[in-house]
Amino acid sequence: MVRKSIFIIFLSILAHAAGFAKQIKISGTVSDSEGLPLEIVNVQVKNSANGTYTDAKGRFSLTLNVADSCTLVFTCLGYNKVEQKFTELSQDLIVNVKMRVFSYELEGVTVTGSRRLTNNMETIQTGKTRLAADATGGSVESFVMTAGTGVSSTNELSTQYSVRGGNYNENMVYVNGVEIYRPILIRSGQQEGLSFINPDLTADVSFSSGGFEARYGDKMSSVLNVNYKKPEAFEAGVSGSMLGGSAYVGNASGRFSQITGLRYKRGTTLLKTLDTKGDYNPSAIDFQTFINYAILPKLNLSLMGNYSENTYDFNPSTRETSWGTMDTQKNFTVWYGGAERDRFRTAFGAATLKYDISDNADIALQISAFQSTEEENYDISGDYWMSNVVADDEEITGVGSFMEHARNYLKSRVMNASLSGSLGVNRHTVRWSAAFQKENITDRIKEWQLQDSMGYSLPQSENSLRLANNLLSQNEISSNRISGYLQDTYKFRIEKGIFSLTAGLRGSYWDFNREFILSPRASLGFIPSKNQNLNFRFASGLYYQAPFYKEFRMTVEDEDGNQHIELNKDIKSQRSIHFVLGGDYNFKYDNRRPFKFTTELYYKKMDRLVPYTVNNVRIQYYGMNVSDGYSAGIDLKLFGQFVPETDSWVSFSLMRARQRIDGQLVPMPTDQLYNFSLFFTDYFPSYKRIEFNLRAIIADGLPFSVPGNEYKNGVRTPMYRRVDMGFTYRLLDENDEKRRYSAWKYFKNIWLGVDFLNLLDIKNVSSYSWFSDINRNQYAVPDRLTGRQINFKFVAEF
């Protein structure tokens, strides 16, 4: 009996202990006020040593014993502490927490102004792209030109930009993880049409001006990374202006979601402000779709498709250009005949199959294809005269004519297949990829120019008719590239603050020139505990500019003066070593409005460079690695709420970019001593429905070369100055009472706007046309950009 009692008591004690030993799991995610995941958030059981950190996707998981209550404490540098109390812990819980910056939040605060950067990728908010005054019609790139650190653009007709001394071809663009290519033959902003990125479909944009990670490809200057939306419900919108229009629709149903956009651009009214008058008929249309389907809970298929067609038809009639000084004015007048007909058609498709192995590991197979068919045809003749005007007396200095002819055709096809993955282990995030790419390019170029001055053809010959210049190309190339990378991001916290270390290695092989390149890259970020308003970062690495057709086309001249293009199989990748040191200081003005001041110093040592010239947006390379150089400077940017509840920013850069050619140190074509840009927004204090935005750019002129002394860049264009201003009126918002009526209930927001493009009517210079007289005197006639233009627009969301 005693033994039985002892046994019963013993079983009771075990059962009681087992009850206390029963465990549950609390898991979830931590994000900021904008819904973006926060990593390295300390999740701690209050008054306990039990705790963990969130991973790169903001996820955490804790195991606790069953108890009556528990309090979790969430802490992260730069964010307010969050405490959540739970009672009657008897089963697993899922907890999602949002953390606020500085315990203060205003609607419309941009993420860039609040998040702490521990790497060299900055987030750029583009939510008001369609409402801003912009000559390109509201492109993502136009926001990058002012919001991106170290970015410069001096052509309002183009979405191309240069970064810290690099040219347009040195910038990478990724959309949903796929590298985007652009047409090759385009020579002017008038021909460019629409850029690939559709702002209506864009979810988030990040940008790096240098020192970027190994997962981004082999180019020397910058990377722009864009992700498209994955709608969770129905959304749609339409917009229109004198420059074009767009429409999009997105929806989600069960495991399926899609978003599709259509854009149209027609800049006839803008082009009519150019010095060259005539019948401009440009048009561009672009169709894109992004589809996601969850085949299984952990297996997702993404499809992205694009087709675009850009046409440029132009019948010039006259041109009048004046330049010079107050004392001596030069006039250049042309009477044209002929026409230009250009066609650029591109098609793109990508499929990504992604499998989530676990919460911390995934693998993805991606296949993409790009094709571009480009045609450039023109036969244009002109009769011109040049004169000097001194004290109202006009003296003719040159009379002549010219003929220009082109039948240019280029077809490019790029196919890529890659396998990539990521793995999170403790505080490490490992990423890797292996890719194969096939490139096919067919090039048929036939163009020439004849010049006549005072009845003599130039260059003058007693025995034959000589052309001023001519070019012939009949080339085809089929090549293969193999590339891959491996990188690790390790984030840890010590008493002095949070550190983020990313190191990676990228390799690539191209069978055209049998070159293998290896690119090590690393960056370190630090947020000090003593002053959470500061953060610092340093990045360095070896970066290559892998050739893509343009760089290895050599122009060869025979004994008769005829020029043709040969492909240089000895070309090597251009090379650059980056050193980037930067930091941010976050503060509040008037204890209310958040600001961020960013400073970055950089130095890029470059060798194996291929010299080039820039004419408008056309880049023509020398075709051989014959120079070396450097780029160094400082970038400053102040971002914040200059006016409460609106985002504005101002940036200023100083830079020097030099290269050594034939033992002589000369400016690079992108060398700019200074660059100032401003984006400012405001509203009427008593009537917030009316908003105002202003974009201003003041930049140093760019160097250029004179004929016969190419690549030496001994002359410089005037400074670039431009101001665009816009007003928008919010006719309807989602909280309006009028939405109750049938006419308005289908709309979410409606805006009406007017833009004053080039408010000060300053016609900037994009390039120069060169004309000679019989005495071989060279005359540089400035090719000016657009003048003042008023643009009316509307935007509606459903």
Confidence at residue 455, expressed as pLDDT on a 0 to 100 scale: 56
Look at residue 760 and tell me whether its pLDDT is greater than 90.
yes
Confidence at residue 118, expressed as pLDDT on a 0 to 100 scale: 61
List pLDDT tens digits, range 221-247. 999 999 999 999 999 999 999 999 999
Look at residue 17 and tell me whether its pLDDT is greater than 60.
no
Confidence at residue 367, expressed as pLDDT on a 0 to 100 scale: 98
Confidence at residue 1, expressed as pLDDT on a 0 to 100 scale: 45
Percent of the chain scoring above 90 in pLDDT: 56
Instruction: Show the tokens assigned to 98.
Output: 């949002």
Q: How high does pLDDT run on average in the chain?
A: 87
Confidence at residue 81, expressed as pLDDT on a 0 to 100 scale: 83
Confidence at residue 443, expressed as pLDDT on a 0 to 100 scale: 93
Q: Comparing C-alpha atoms, which of 262, 251, 252 is closest to residue 289?
A: 262
List pLDDT tens digits, range 695-722. 999 999 999 888 777 787 778 899 999 9
pTM of the model: 0.86
Distances (CA, A) of 734 to 55, 625, 740: 36, 58, 10
Look at residue 458 and tell me whether its pLDDT is greater than 70.
no
Confidence at residue 739, expressed as pLDDT on a 0 to 100 scale: 67
Confidence at residue 18, expressed as pLDDT on a 0 to 100 scale: 43
Query: CA 183, 187, 193, 195 torsion: positive or negative?
Result: positive
Mean pLDDT to the nearest integer, 566-578? 95
Cα distance between residue 401 and residue 387, in whole Å: 15
DSSP string, 575-589: EEEEEEEEEEEEEEE
DSSP string, 495-563: TTEEEEEEEEEEEEEETTTTEEEEEEEEEEEEEESS-TTEEEEEEEEEEEE---SGGGEEEEE-TTS-E
List pLDDT tens digits, range 313-352. 999 999 999 888 777 788 899 999 999 999 999 999 999 9
Q: Is 243 helix (H, G, I), strand (E, B) or coil?
A: coil
Q: Which residue has the higher pLDDT, 169 or 70?
A: 169
Name which of 90-104, 128-142, 613-627 the model is least confident about: 90-104
Confidence at residue 9, expressed as pLDDT on a 0 to 100 scale: 43
Look at residue 108 and tell me whether its pLDDT is greater than 50.
no
| Banded model confidence at residue 10, pLDDT cuts 50, 70, 90 | very low
Look at residue 105 and tell me whether its pLDDT is greater than 70.
no
Percent of the chain scoring above 70 in pLDDT: 91
Look at residue 11 and tell me whether its pLDDT is greater than 70.
no
Cα distance between residue 735 and residue 733, in whole Å: 6
Name which of 85-89, 413-417, 592-596, 723-727 the model is least confident about: 85-89
Q: Comparing C-alpha atoms, which of 234, 108, 129, 237 is closest to residue 747?
A: 237
Q: Comparing C-alpha atoms, which of 724, 719, 723, 616 is closest to residue 674?
A: 719
Q: Which residue has the higher pLDDT, 416 or 4?
A: 416
Look at residue 476 and tell me whether its pLDDT is greater than 50.
yes
List pLDDT tens digits, range 496-536. 888 999 999 999 999 999 999 999 999 999 988 888 788 99
Q: Residue length, the chain?
A: 798
Q: Comparing C-alpha atoms, which of 723, 716, 694, 708 is closest to residue 765?
A: 716
List pLDDT tens digits, range 677-692. 999 999 988 888 899 9
Instruction: Show the tokens assigned to 508.
Output: 């690539």
Give 196's strand partners.
none
- Dihedral over alpha carbons 733, 739, 742, 748 (to 10 degrees): 30
Look at residue 103 and tell me whether its pLDDT is greater than 50.
no
Confidence at residue 636, expressed as pLDDT on a 0 to 100 scale: 96
| Banded model confidence at residue 78, pLDDT cuts 50, 70, 90 | low
Confidence at residue 507, expressed as pLDDT on a 0 to 100 scale: 97
Mean pLDDT to the nearest integer, 351-373? 95
Give 664's strand partners.
661
